[in-house]
Every structure is written in C-alpha cells, then in structure tokens.
Amino acid sequence: MVKNAIETNNLTKFYGKARGIENVTFSVEEGEIFGFIGPNGAGKSTTIRTLLSLIYPSSGSAKIFGMDCNKQAPEVLKRIGYLPSEVFYYDGMKVKDLLNYSASFYKKDCKKRIQELSERMNLDLNKKIDDLSFGNKKKVGIVQGLLHSPDLIILDEPTSGLDPLMQQTFFDLLEEENKRGAAVLMSSHILGEVQRLCNRVAIIKEGKIIKLEKISTLQEASYKRFKFEIQNEIPKDYFAIKGVNDLKVEGKTHSFIFKGDINTITTKLSNVRLTNLWADEPDLEEIFMHYYSKEV
C-alpha cells in the first residue's frame, strides 16, 4: 500500500466569522508531486499554513507522515522544507549566516548541500540579504528550504520573481528531489507550472476543494474547444446544449468548450453549412476557468 505524506480530514479554518477553508480533505502520496490551484484568497495559503502549524485549524485534522501536524509539529517540521510565497529574512544578515542559522535547526551537516545548491542557483553567499534583488532573495528561500534534504517540500506560489532560466533550474531541482523520494506540495495560480510538474491537482475555490484529479485525466477528459464559421445565420442558442461552456457568438463565428460525446456536436453540425472549422484541446487554464465559472 502506498503511504501518504499528507492526509487531511475535513480541515476547517475560520478567522472569526470569515471563512478560511472548509472541510478540506485530500491526501498526497509519498513521492508524489501534488498541485494546489485556485485564485488568490481561495484558501491555498491557509491550507498550507495549517499543515505547517503556523495557524491552528478550527476543526478537522491533518497528518503528515502519520503524525499530527499540531501535536507533533517539531517532529513533522524536521522532515519538511518550506518556501513561502514571499521571502523575508533578518536584516543585516549575510546569506551564508542566514543559511547556517537555518541549518542549525536540523541535526545534520548541511554545509555541502548549501554549497551545492547555491552554486546551482548561482547565489552569492557573501552578500547581505538586504542588498539582494527579489529574485535573489527567492533563491535564498529555495536553498533554505532544500538544504536539509526534506522528505516533503511545501511551496507556496514558488516561481514568482524568478526569471525563466532560474525557474527551469528550480524545477529541475524539484524533480531531482522528487526522484530522491521527496513528496512535493505546491500551490499556484499559474496553471502552466502545475501542469508541467504535478501528478495530481486539487482545485480550490472559496475555501473548498471542488475537484481532485490527475493532471492526465484533467487534460484527457474529452474536452474539446470548437470554433467554426457558418455560411447562413443560425439561432444564437443553437449550440447551447448540455456539456457546452463558454459559448461565444460573434457574427458568423461560434466557439465553445465541449465536454461529452463528440457525436452530439457532429450531429448538430451536420445540419449547418460551414465555411471553416477548428477543433482542438483546450489548455488546462481554459478547463480550469470553465470549472471555476460554471461548477459549484
């Protein structure tokens, strides 16, 4: 049986009366790369911060490697590497001082790994953190999160501020860590990066998980984007049938995303004279948008 790195059970957090997350239940298997997508304010950070015991759940529970996130926080945190969405470190400290301070919390020698990682990330250890650009601070965050070879890497909006080349290096690093056996939980509102890295995603909206799916299923589920030009006018709602979303009619051009039996569409199309036709795979973003705007 595959063991779970993370397992949450009806995790709920209210800030006073304001909703944080409600009944969030999901699990991340060991060795898996799991994505968490949703717009800002959906509850991604709240979930992550609860897992890290930075905040305490109103109800429900979360386990990491079989241990309770709150009650056994130090044990759990030993095995986690965390990169927050925005990195802030102590003023006046040099990069290497900060990294050594970070390493001092783990009972292992991290010197070699610090050296390796900073070389990979092209990070100058002797600079003062105050003098670093946003992107370079982010690199400090990455090294800081990986220097103790954690078994679970948690990333909150990891790529903001990194240039594409560094992003690539970072993703390579994550994939290496993953091959080594580390599970990864990353939150993002950029679907491309989730699509690239993750095995499974949870889509979170207004504090609730509305969909848990394998990336492959999400892309494979027969979603098609149709677009065509017609010769003669047809009623605007001609294609407004079940399974059709994002229907747009501009003059003689009709377009929509369709989920379901394609023959339904081809049958309807056979009654229409076309001048042009496009049919292709919608990207995850479109599928995602469509879930967001229509379901729940």
Partner 1 sequence: MNIYKHELKVNLKSTIMWICVISGLASLLMLFYPILSKDMDSFMEILDNLPPAMKGLIGIAAANILTPLGYYGFAFLYTLLFGAIQSMNLGIGIVSKEEREKTADFLMTKPVTRVKILTAKLLSVLTIFIVTNIVYTIVTAAVVTSMADGDLDTGKFMLINLSLFLVQLIYFSIGLVISIAMKKIRSVLSISVGLVFMFFAISAFAVKSADDKLRFITPFQYFKTDTILAEGNYEMAYVITGTLIVIASIVTSYILYKRKDVHSV
Question: Which residues are near partner 1 by CB under 8 A?
Answer: 15, 45, 49, 52-56, 73-78, 80, 82, 84-86, 88-91, 101-102, 104-106, 144
Q: Please give the distance of CA 292 from its chain centroid, rounded to a whole number.
A: 15
The least distance separating partner 1 from the CB of residue 174, rounded to whole angstroms, comes to: 18
DSSP the chain: -PPEEEEEEEEEEEETTEEEEEEE--EEETT-EEEEE--TTSSHHHHHHHHTTSS--SEEEEEETTEETTTTHHHHHHTEEEE-SS----TT-BHHHHHHHHHTTSSS--HHHHHHHHHHHT--TTSBGGGS-HHHHHHHHHHHHHTT--SEEEEESTTTT--HHHHHHHHHHHHHHHHHT-EEEEEES-HHHHHHH-SEEEEEETTEEEEEEEHHHHHHSSEEEEEEEESS---TTTT--TTEEEEEEETTEEEEEEES-HHHHHHHHTTS-EEEEEEEPPPHHHHHHHHHHH--
CB of 56 or CB of 278, closer to partner 1: 56
The least distance separating partner 1 from the CB of residue 19, rounded to whole angstroms, comes to: 15
CB of 38 or CB of 84, closer to partner 1: 84
The least distance separating partner 1 from the CB of residue 52, rounded to whole angstroms, comes to: 5
CB of 132 or CB of 230, closer to partner 1: 132
CB of 99 or CB of 287, closer to partner 1: 99
The tokens for 156 are: 């909150």
The least distance separating partner 1 from the CB of residue 155, rounded to whole angstroms, comes to: 12
CB of 101 or CB of 278, closer to partner 1: 101
Could you tell me the CA-to-CA distances from 64 to 29, 92, 120, 234, 296 in Å, in that order? 10, 35, 29, 57, 29
CB of 50 or CB of 159, closer to partner 1: 50
The least distance separating partner 1 from the CB of residue 98, rounded to whole angstroms, comes to: 8
The least distance separating partner 1 from the CB of residue 148, rounded to whole angstroms, comes to: 9
The least distance separating partner 1 from the CB of residue 78, rounded to whole angstroms, comes to: 4
- The separation between the first and the last C-alpha atoms of the chain, rounded to the nearest angstrom, is 33
CB of 75 or CB of 163, closer to partner 1: 75
The least distance separating partner 1 from the CB of residue 39, rounded to whole angstroms, comes to: 16
